[in-house]
Amino acid sequence: MKITKKLLESLNLGFKFPAQKTKWYEELDDLDCVEIEVFNEKQYKTLKQNALFHSLISCFWRSGCSSFASYDDLRRYYKRIAGLISFRYDSTLTKETKEMLWKAIKLLPLEQSQRVVLINMLKGRVEQELSWAEVSKKAATETIDHLLNDMELAGVPTSSEASKYEEVLKGIGDWYE
Mind listing the pLDDT tens digit for each residue in 5-31? 667 667 666 555 555 556 666 777 766
- Residues whose CB falls within 8 Å of the CB of residue 21, separated by 6 or more in sequence, listed in order: none
Q: How many Cα atoms are found within 13 Å in the side-chain-facing hemisphere of 21? A: 5
Structural domain spans, the chain: 1-38, 85-129
- Residue 143, Cβ density class (10 Å: 0-12 exposed, 13-18 middle, ≥19 buried): buried
Three-state DSSP string of 8-68: HHHHCCCCCCCHHHHHHHHCCCCCCEEECCCCCHHHHHHHHHHHHHHHHHHHHHHHCCCCC
- Model confidence at 159, pLDDT cuts 50, 70, 90, reads very high
Q: Report whether pLDDT(174) > 60.
A: no
Q: Is the pLDDT of residue 72 over 80?
A: yes
Segment 143-167 mean pLDDT: 93
More confident residue, 58 or 37: 58
Average pLDDT, the chain: 80
Of the pLDDT bands very low, low, confident and very high (cuts 50, 70, 90), residue 138 is confident
Phi (first) and psi of residue 22, to 5 degrees: -60, -45
**Beta bridge pairs of residue 128:** 86
